A and B are shown apart, each in its own frame.
Chain A
Amino acid sequence: MGELISASNLQKSFGSLRAVHGVNLRVNAGEVVGFLGPNGAGKTTTMRILTGFLDPNDGVVLLNGISIAEDPIGARRTFGYLPEGAPAYPDMTVREYLHFIARARGMPRRDIATAVEGVATRVHLRGVLDQVIETLSKGFKRRVGIAQAIIHDPPILIMDEPTDGLDPNQKHEVRELIRTMGSTKAIVLSTHILEEVEAVCTRAIVIANGRVVFDGTPSEFEAKAPSSVTRNRMDHVFRVMTGSGVEAST
């Protein structure tokens, strides 16, 4: 299966702060990559560079072979994106919003109603389709964000904390959805939850201080823990790789 995401040597500084420092990333179709890292490690910045929302100081991003810098519109057609916090227009109904996204993505008008119904079924939004977004609970808003990211069935999915704010049942549903889509798409998601990586990801990438400190399967990640550690082994590895001494001891 082809390489859908290719990012080489990404660099990004904000003033004197080096947010992303030489990140490389290759993701093939059929892979679900989990981005792990403490807050402020550079996960969101990296995802924003992948989607072209931020311009890197250096480095190249190719999405399905298209350069985001040279052909931004062509590259943006290849992915769906759930930004941090799942922003949406609060004064629109879910249906109006999804129609707007589908239209802006150039979907033929006759296909839009079907696509909206289909995606609403997949992420369990049917009951709130005609509700105004600002009246929705956090979990529903997150699902609206996921719906707008997958409505056009893109080959690439980039999701910043897709399960944040969901209750355990909703988390389970979203993970199932991601796992299903992961068989054919290239998916990158970020999370704080280590068990999530185990549950849905085929690969884990750990970022700390803007650098990739681990890239491998979740089981390889867990195997890094010494055999003396018997409980929360992933947490242990994560703390050793990313944490300062203070954080590791708390």
Chain B
Amino acid sequence: MIASGAMSPWRTILRREFRSYFATPLAAVFLVVFLFSSGIFAFSLGGLYERGQADLRSFFQFVPWLYLFLAPAISMRLWAEERRLGTIEILTTLPVPIWHAVVGKFLAAWLFSILALALTAPLWITVSWLGDPDQGAIIAGYIAAALVAGIFLAIGGFVSAITKNQVIAFIVAIVACFLVLLSGFPLVLNFFRGWMGSGAIDAIASVSVLTHFNSLMRGVIELRDLVYFASGIVGALVATALVVDWRKSA
């Protein structure tokens, strides 16, 4: 029960978290690195100009790889920082259900990464001005990119909840995200093939972020892919809430 005129707790936590990015140079560094490297990837490696096509494929195809490193950089502090500072003891003794804290923190991180994505809009504007791109495909690309950020942040948040060391949280999150990103590819599958049945291999292959990302990138937003990202995010958040509650004093 919340008194009238009060903000619901997850929004209070979202607000505090989101502001905290801008209290330190973290936000500026992140945004600059994100925009700079996405530009370099799109133009140099992706050949945005040379392809001579008015679309953003050459930009979007590198987004999952960028987020592979940048999402853990955001998520590593989510819970590890609370443990290191001891503020987890304040947070978990406030009359706030644990899932409010988990959702609030996740949404703050997600909004921040979506903000970074939104700042690439000049690319979109330029392409639209120079040619006549398939706007549907571009919108689908942005949605796909945001969903990849979401699932990486949810996984990274979970990893951050199990340690108070941010460096460990960062590295383990990169490895975990890498495995999820590429789980449909021979690199990862061959590792499991030796000692797992084909059913298990298929299951592992189906959790590949890249497969679903590419499927969305084709410009067709399929329910299957949305369900995949939604259940991945929700699953990681539930696991985070369980770990925080279970190991809050650890």
Interface residues of A (CB under 8 A from B): 48, 51-54, 73-74, 76-77, 81, 83-85, 87-92, 96, 100-101, 103-110, 148
User: Looking at A83, A85, A148, which has the most chain B CB atoms within 10 Å of its CB?
Assistant: A83
Does B126 sit at the interface, judged by CB under 8 A? no
B interface residues, how many (CB within 8 angstroms) = 28
- Whether the pair A52, B93 counts as a contact (CB closer than 8 A) is yes
B2-10, B63-71, B207-215 - the one binding chain A: B2-10
B86 surroundings in chain A (CB, below 8 A):
83-85, 87
Give Cα A240 to B87, complex, Å.
Answer: 36
Q: Is the CB of B90 within 8 A of A87?
A: yes
With A85-B86, A91-B20, A106-B95 given, name 7 new contacts (CB 8 A): A74-B95, A83-B89, A87-B86, A88-B85, A96-B16, A100-B12, A105-B94
Which residues of B, 1-32, contact A by the 8 Å Cβ criterion? 1-7, 9, 12-13, 16, 19-20, 23-24
**Bound-state Cα–Cα, A52 to B90, Å:** 11
A-chain residues with CB within 8 Å of residue B96 when the two chains form the complex: 73, 104
Chain B residue with minimal CB distance to A52?
B93
Can you give 12 A-B contacts (C-beta < 8 A)?
Answer: A73-B95, A76-B94, A83-B90, A84-B86, A87-B86, A89-B85, A90-B85, A92-B16, A101-B90, A104-B95, A107-B6, A108-B4
- Closest-CB distance, B230 to chain A (whole angstroms): 27
A109 pairs with B23, CB closer than 8 A: no
Q: Does B92 contact A (CB under 8 A)?
A: yes
The 6 closest A-B pairs by CB, nearest first: A87-B86, A91-B23, A108-B5, A83-B89, A76-B95, A103-B12
Q: Are A108 and B97 in contact (CB under 8 A)?
A: no
Distance in Å: Cβ of B10 to nearest Cβ of chain A: 10
Query: Which residues on A sit within 8 Å (CB–CB) of B198?
Result: none
* CA distance in complex: A112, B86 (Å): 25
Contact A88–B87 (Cβ < 8 Å): yes
CB contact under 8 A between A87 and B89, given known A103-B12, A106-B3, A109-B7? yes
Q: Bound complex: CA of A83 vs CA of B24, how far in Å?
A: 25
The smallest beta-carbon distance between B245 and chain A, in angstroms, is 9
Chain B's interface: helix, strand, loop or mixed, by majority? loop
Interface residue? B248 (CB, 8 A): yes
In the complex, A109 Cα to B11 Cα: how many Å? 13
> A108 with B3: in contact, given A89-B85, A100-B16 (CB under 8 Å)?
yes
B94 to chain A, nearest CB (A): 5
Chain B residue with minimal CB distance to A75?
A: B95
User: Chain B contacts of A110 at CB under 8 A?
Assistant: 5
Does B12 lie within 8 Å of A76, measured CB to CB?
Answer: no
Q: Which residues of B contact A (CB under 8 A)?
A: 1-7, 9, 12-13, 16, 19-20, 23-24, 85-87, 89-90, 92-97, 248-249
Q: Give chain A nearest CB distance to B77 CB in angstroms.
A: 11
- B12-A104 in contact (CB<8A): yes
Chain B residues whose CB sits within 8 angstroms of the CB of A53 once the complex forms? 89, 92-93, 248-249
Contact between A89 and B93, CB atoms less than 8 A apart:
no
User: Could you say which of B1, B12, B13, B87 contacts A87, with CB atoms under 8 Å apart?
Assistant: B87
A21 to B175, CA, bound (A): 43
What is the bound-complex CA distance between A103 and B5, given in angstroms? 10
Bound CA span A95–B44, Å? 47
Contacts of B19 in A (CB 8 A): 96
Most buried by B among A73, A88, A101, A104: A104
Q: A89-B16, A91-B24 are in contact. Are A104 and B85 (CB under 8 A)?
A: no
- Contact B20–A89 (Cβ < 8 Å): yes
| Cβ A48 vs Cβ B87 within 8 A | no
Q: Which of B1, B9, B87, B97 contacts A89 (CB 8 A)?
A: B87
Minimal beta-carbon separation of A132 from chain B (angstroms):
8
Q: Identify the interface centre among B2, B5, B13: most chain A CB within 10 Å of its CB.
A: B5
CA distance A97 to B233 in the complex (A): 29
Q: How far is the CA of A194 from the CA of B89 in the complex (A)?
A: 27
Query: How far does the alpha carbon of A96 sit from the alpha carbon of B13 in the complex, in Å?
Result: 12
Q: B6 and A88: CB pair below 8 A?
A: no
A87 near B94: Cβ-Cβ < 8 Å: no
**B89 CB contacts on chain A under 8 angstroms:** 48, 53, 81, 83-84, 87
Among candidates B6, B7, B20, residue contacting A92 with C-beta atoms closer than 8 Å: B20
Tell me the minimal C-beta distance from B108 to chain A in angstroms.
13
Looking at the assembled complex, report how far the CB atom of B186 sits from the nearest CB atom of chain A, in whole angstroms: 44
Bound together, the chains give a CA A90 to CA B16 distance in angstroms of 12
Are the C-beta atoms of A51 and B93 separated by less than 8 Å? yes
